Structure 1
Amino acid sequence: MEYISTRGKVAGIGFIDAVLMGLGDDGGLLVPKHIPHVSDDTLAQWQKLSYPELALEIFALYTDGEIPREDLKQLVDDSYKTFRDKDVTPLRRIKDGLHVLELFHGPTFAFKDIALQFLGNLYSYISHEKNSIIHILGATSGDTGASAIEGVRGKKGIKICILHPNGKVSKVQELQMTTVDDANVLNLSVEGNFDDCQRIIKELFADVAFKQEYHLRAINSINFARILAQTVYYFYAYFQLANSGTGAGTVNFSVPTGNFGDIFAGFLAKKMGLPVGKLILATNENNILERFVNEGVYQPGEFHMTYSPSMDIQVASNFERYLYYLQGEDATAVSALMEGFRQKGRITVSGETLEQVQRDFAAASVENDDCLATIGQVHDDFGYLLDPHTACGVAAADRFTAKSEVTVALATAHPAKFNEAIELIQIEQTFPAQIQALFDKPQHQKLVDGSNSAVKAELLKFF
């Protein structure tokens, strides 16, 4: 399996080199040269598999023998034995036509664990096999940081630095990152918002000499391994519905997303042959992606702090991957669009191209009041407590799902991670013991200004 860049100047590299490169050396994002297609017969065979067994089959298509199958199986088994539910990502029926896919049964109670438990183990494997140094650098709007740290803390040959926006993540998210006191972990609290953190990361990775000298590796969803791991639960949800007798034909997925990674994984699953109906993109007031789908304009707007802070993102790091397929896999066209965005801060599509976008996705922006109302209504009517991000997905699903359709809303986090929002509607919840224990632990983080130089100075000391 070959991997290439969306900007056309990186090509012919294998899976492990693609994981290590993270961001393409030409500034683009890495994608497989060819997306493997899964036949109906194979889908029927996969329907009987457990989650780890399914993950192994999907990963094997993209590693293509580069990692021996037994080694890959061990990586998968090690990654998913840490989950609290035997199904890893269980499906819960909320009402007729609507199911919630619970993606929060990993160590940090967030969907990021599904990819980052695997990526952490994969990096450890690569470090051992290649006797190489792994210095991980990532930015988080809340959940990625804790999941990434949990995936690699204490692992030999690996150091990790995570940037998060100071004061703009939930208290539990902050505690999950900053109460870790392992010597191989550095938390930087950055003055600014998540887009500032993400910009710093991308610009440091774009400095190829610095990246290579200090062995920088990506943990954000710019790393294709993150996307790959997330495709698995789309297949698994479909199979759970089929095995229960609920699923028939296509299934819609409603996905709360800010960085476009989670919904791009669904787009990839659909291109592989999974019978996906609508891919419903749910955002909050930071609705650059919703405006692109509905109006054809990709342009950052005013930044808003919301009750769903993990989606408080204006510039989506995975959007370029979708542009690559929207432009017919034309790297030259993608490069021109991204250069135009760099210069003018705007990408516009219209006509047949916009029609294609609207065939690929439906999109809705769910504002704070609607988010809280959805949490309250689902709790009152069905006795099920949603976190604010999942509530955005459920609200968007209700806008686009016809009575005869089946929709799966992705539940991206446990509600205990966002009690600030839950308390606003007078709902009391019991924290899991692992989360409650965080409040008694000391924190370890360093506040820095939102400049490349300030972050680089801390990295040089740490690495």
Structure 2
Amino acid sequence: MRYVSTRGAAPVLGFEDVVLAGLARDGGLYVPQSWPTATADDLKRWSSLSYADLAVEVMRPFVEGIPESDFAAIVHETYAAPAVFHHAAVTPLRQLDANEWLLELFHGPTLAFKDVALQLLGRLFEYILRKRGERITVVGATSGDTGSAAIEACRDRENVTIIMLHPAGRVSEVQRRQMTTVPSANVHNVAVEGTFDDCQALVKAMFNDHAFRDRLNLAAVNSINWARVLAQVVYYVQSSLALGGRPVDFAVPTGNFGDVFAGYVAARMGVPVNKLIVATNINDILSRALRSGDYSRGTVQPTISPSMDIQVSSNFERLLFDLYDGDGVRIRQLMDDFSATGKLAIGNAQIARASGLFVADKVDEDETRATIAQVLKDSGMLIDPHTAVGVAAGRRLRSGPDVPLVTLATAHPAKFPDAVSAASGVHPALPPHMADLMSRTERFEILPNDLKSVQDHIAARAS
């Protein structure tokens, strides 16, 4: 398996190099040259496997250069319970209604779905760097959950320094403290005076500054890193198999499009995905793009689902690459125009192709709160605001009561206690391993939204 850039001008790489590279040198994102196919016999055989064994089977066709036994050991260490994940099933299904389910993705160490991928990525970094005798500086941007999950995955690992950027005052206090209270010497946090999109733009600019990138040996943990997407494919397969291998509607709360693109990969592999329901909050660039072809950047509006407060969805480029038949020159032109004007019009033929699998809608603040309250009333379960966005859009756009609806529950409600409490009247408690979070000492720097200031700060801490 080899990987190509969505913009067609970067070197073709193998898996290990893609893991370390993150963003391609032409500014594009790496995708596989071809999609492996899971046969009906494969799916039948996989239905009885543990999560870790299934993960090895699903990901193995995408991985070259790592011996099978080594890769299996990395995967089994990643998804060990209770050592890493606090549920034996790793990503269990919980029933909401007769044919409606929550896929709980928050049983990892930082209570968010990003642990599922980043716990693997941290171990892959360590394995590859040890083998090569190299060192990397991980630089990432977070709208809330990626940061803590990436830090937890990289803390204390040899040959890795991690610097995480978050938008000052635009993440929840729990999210911030999960990042800034980690005492490890190789962990550094920066609060940028701007939005998540500003943080993401700074990270992309640093990767596109090839002299800076090479001097610090930059690596990415954001969902631009292919390994992130690959690891998330597994729970689509697992939940489909758990429901008998029937076609499933998946409702996915998303801002950066990485999690829902993993569902697209599962569908391309042959997993029976009926619909991918793209659920956004009022920052609705993705729902506009998939409904009308209008991928135009707006002003980020703060919401109670802050991890989706995004107006530039990096991973959407991976879907565009497929919709335009792998035409890297065309994608480069589209993305250059978007960078210059903030606007991108998707062709009617491409929108028609996407509509065969994707549907999309936005959910406003009032509906998000009402959904939290309604789910608690009907089922006794507390959900966080991001999951509520997924539930609301999923119920509106599902195929019908005969098709299973699975909403990805992307975060534990205790990560957003104020919003959940205001909507439900119930204050969600942090689990025991985080009970003292609010009393831990924080460490972070506040910097302006200025590339040179951030680069100088990072260079001084990289080693």
TM over 0.5, shorter chain: yes
| 1:4 aligned partner, one-letter code | V
Correspondence for 1:132? 134
Work out whether residues 172 and 435 of structure 1, in 8 Å CA contact, stay in contact via their aligned partners in 2: no
Q: Deviations over 1:227-264 (max 9, x none)?
A: 0000000000111111xxxx5x3111000000000000
Q: Which one-letter code corresponds to 1:49 in the other structure?
A: L
1:16 corresponds to 2:16: yes
Three-state SS of the structure 2 residue aligned to 1:164 is: strand
Contact 2:255 2:280 in 1 (8 A): yes
Cα displacement (A) at 1:10? 2.1
Whether the 8 Å CA contact 1:221–1:318 is kept in 2: the answer is: yes
CA distance in 1, matches of 2:193, 2:430: 29
Task: Report the RMSD for the aligned CA atoms in angstroms.
Answer: 1.0
Alignment-derived partner of residue 154 in structure 1: 156
CA deviations on 1:304-338 (whole Å, 9 max, x unpaired) are 10010000000001011011001011111111111
Select 1:302's aligned residue among 299, 314, 327.
299
2:87 matched to which residue of 1? 85
Q: Which residue of 2 aligns with 1:52?
A: 52
CA distance in 1, matches of 2:272, 2:365: 32
Q: In the alignment, does 2:308 pair up with 1:311?
A: yes
Contiguous gaps of at least 5 residues in structure 1: none
Q: Partners in 2 of 1:252 and 1:400 — Cα distance?
A: 9
Aligned to 1:331: 328
Query: Is the Cα contact below 8 Å between 2:384 and 2:413 reproduced in 1?
Result: yes
What's the CA shift string for 1:86-136, capped at 9, x where partnerless? Answer: 000000010012100000000000000000000001101111110100210
For 1:364, the equivalent position in structure 2 comes to 361
Q: Kindly report which structure 2 residues correspond to 1:27-176, keeping only aligned pairs within 5 A, or say none.
A: 27-64=27-64, 66-81=65-80, 82-176=84-178
Q: CA deviation at 1:185?
A: 0.4
**Matched residue, 2:421:** 423
Q: Is contact 1:2–1:11 with CA below 8 Å preserved after alignment?
A: no
For the pair 1:278 / 2:275, whether they are aligned, the reply is yes
Q: 5+ unaligned residues in a row in structure 2: which ranges?
A: none
Residues paired across the two proteins, number? 457
Q: Which whole-Å CA distance do the structure 2 matches of 1:324 and 1:130 have between them? A: 32
Q: Distance in 2 between matches of 1:251 and 1:315?
A: 28
Cα distance in 1 for partners of 2:427, 2:253 equals 24
The structure 1 segments of at least 4 consecutive aligned residues displaced by more than 3 Å after TM superposition are: none
Q: Secondary structure at the match of 1:89?
A: coil
Which residue of the partner structure matches residue 206 of structure 1?
208
What aligned pairs does 1:388-427 form with structure 2 within 5 A after superposition?
Answer: 388-401=385-398, 402-425=400-423, 426-427=425-426
Structure 2 residue 209 is matched with structure 1 residue 188: no
Cα displacement (A) at 1:435: 2.6
Give 1:75 shift: 0.7
- Give the aligned partner of residue 437 of structure 2: 438
> How many Å apart are 1:47 and its aligned residue?
1.0
Q: Which one is further off, 438-447 or 420-429?
A: 420-429
Residue type at the aligned position of 2:36: P
The DSSP-based 3-state class of the residue aligned with 1:129 is helix
Q: CA deviation at 1:349?
A: 2.1
**Which letter does structure 1 place at the counterpart of 2:407?**
A
Report which stretch shifted further, 353-362 or 133-142. Answer: 353-362
CA contact (8 A) 1:112 1:144 kept: yes
**How many angstroms does 1:357 deviate by?**
2.3
- Give the Cα separation in 2 of the matches to 1:429 and 1:323: 39
Task: Give the CA deviation at 1:302.
Answer: 2.4
Residue 220 of structure 2 is matched in structure 1 by: 218
Asked if structure 1 preserves the Cα contact closer than 8 Å seen for 2:372 and 2:384, the reply is: yes
Q: Distance in 1 between matches of 2:337 and 2:429?
A: 49
Alpha-carbon distance in 1 for matches of 2:314, 2:348: 25
Cα drift, residue 436 of structure 1: 2.2
Structure 1 letter corresponding to 2:52: P
Q: CA deviation at 1:362?
A: 0.5
Shift of residue 431, structure 1, vs aligned partner: 2.3
- Alignment partners' CA distance in 1, 2:43 and 2:9: 35
| TM-score w.r.t. length of structure 1 | 0.97
By how many angstroms is 1:359 displaced?
A: 1.8
List per-residue Cα deviations over 1:262-287 (Å, max 9, x = no partner). Answer: 00000011001100001000000100
State the 1:429 CA deviation.
2.5
Aligned to 2:233: 231
Amino acid at match of 1:113: D
What is the CA deviation profile of residues 132-185 of structure 1, one whole-angstrom value per residue up to 9, with x for unaligned ones?
A: 002100000000000000001111111000000001001100010000111100
Residue 404 (structure 1) shift: 1.6
Q: Which residue, 234, 242, 253 being the options, matches 1:240?
A: 242
- Residue identity matched to 2:9: K
SS at match of 2:436: helix
Q: Does 2:384 match 1:384?
A: no
Q: Could you tell me the TM-score, scaled by structure 2's length? A: 0.97
SS of the aligned residue for 1:255 comes to: strand
Counterparts of 2:417 and 2:31 in 1: how far apart (Å)? 37
**Which deviations, in whole Å up to 9, do the C-alpha atoms of 1:175-201 show, x marking residues without a partner?**
100001111000001100100000000
Shift of 1:35: 1.0
Checking the alignment, whether the CA contact within 8 Å between 1:251 and 1:275 is kept in structure 2 is yes
CA distance in 1, matches of 2:94, 2:290: 29
One-letter amino acid of the counterpart of residue 392, structure 1: V
**% of aligned pairs identical?**
46
Verify the 8 A CA contact 1:160 1:186 in the aligned structure 2.
yes
Q: SS of the residue aligned with 2:435?
A: helix
